[in-house]
Amino acid sequence: QPDDRGLIGAVPVLRVTRRGPEAVHFVETALEPGAAVLVTLDWERRFDHMQQHSGQHLITAMADQMFGFKTTSWELGRQQSVIELDTPAVTTQQVEALERSVNEKIRERVPVSVRELAADDPEIETVRSRGLPGDHTGPIRVVDIEGVDSNMCCGTHVSNLSDLQVIKLLCAEKGKKNKTNLVFLAGNRVLKSVEQSHRTEKALTSLLKNGPGEHVEAVKRLQSSVKLLQKNNLNLLRDMAVLIARDFQSSPARSPLFVLHRKEGDSEFMNIIANEIGTEETLLFLTVGDEKEAGLFLLAGSVEAVENLGPRVAELLGGKGAGKRGRYQGKATRMSRRGEVQALLQEFISHQ
């Protein structure tokens, strides 16, 4: 279970950990030794952890009683919690039956109590446990869900299952080593999840112009349309690259330097142009992407020129690249410096 947070006086508590029997609090600033302080607990965080932890005890006990599924570990996450069950699979019907049963126990208002046993108390042998930490001292703490479960535990819990409000088992997923992960929400997390789902549903209804039952089909249609548009756009870019290269080749007075930037292009677009022009007599500097921020670049020409200029071009553009056989290409973060690169290339050509 995650640690508690809050204030000691006016100083925020950043973390709490255990060293043997001591609870060590890490605070934002130093506290005056011996000073009287008011300790304020972050109750919303604590109560959330209580709901999830007591919910886990209940689910674990009922999964064992109903199906013989043993819990091997669990995780109290920030949004969802996960119980690892020692079984290769859990059916949908079993998940539904388990959810019904745990919520019946909540409606029955079953009490939850905490007691402490001496380390040599024989009753400890009858209590469910994963073992004690090696540095444990003092009495053994046991959490009882009346008539349901008795479990060795150091966590914070509700005093009655009715405080859990409701438990929702979200899904059963394949886990590690032939085990199953059962994902769940308890208490206020269920309410927050419903609220978030409702907001999302309203937003999608507004965007898709149809009811919630038609959202999935509407999104599938949009995905198909986007794929078709992307395919058509790619074909147009390829045709455009060929035409750009042929237009340059047909020029009666071709420049030794060819510079082009295309916002919507990609690496294939640049390579088609370089392949079509295909001459070492021309130095090509091609870029695609954002005009001032991130993008891709390609430098093509004679092997000697590219080997000399490639790393310098990448450095000017704030990027990284690699090259071979007269091509140097990579990613850039400062496309606004394309003018400086062009000046560098013009200077190089003028000295040849």
Calpha distance 110→148 (Å, rounded): 9
Domain 229-351 sits in CATH 3.30.360.10? no
Q: Tokens standing for 217?
A: 């089909």
288 with 314: CB under 8 angstroms? no
| 229-351 matches 44-120+139-205 in CATH topology | no
Cα–Cα dist 122/153, whole Å = 17
Domain residue ranges of the chain, discontinuous segments joined by +: 6-41, 44-120+139-205, 229-351
Which residues 6+ apart lie within 8 Å of 92 measured at CB?
A: 172
Nearest to 99 by CA among 68, 128, 58: 58
CB 284 within 8 A of CB 273: yes
Q: Does domain 44-120+139-205 match CATH 1.10.10.10?
A: no
pLDDT tens across the length of the chain (352 residues): 899 999 999 999 999 998 877 899 999 999 999 999 999 999 999 999 999 999 999 999 999 999 999 999 999 999 999 999 999 999 999 999 999 999 999 999 999 999 998 888 888 888 877 777 777 778 889 999 999 999 999 899 999 999 999 999 999 999 999 999 999 999 999 999 999 999 999 999 999 999 999 999 999 999 999 999 989 988 998 999 999 989 988 888 788 999 999 998 899 999 999 998 887 788 999 999 988 899 999 999 998 899 999 999 999 999 999 988 899 999 999 999 999 999 999 999 888 7
What CA–CA distances, in Å, run from 164 to 3, 22, 157, 170, 327? 20, 30, 10, 16, 64
Give the pair of three-digit tokens for residue 153. Answer: 């535990």
Q: What is the largest CA-CA distance in the chain?
A: 100
Q: Tell me if residue 111 falls in helix, strand or coil.
A: strand
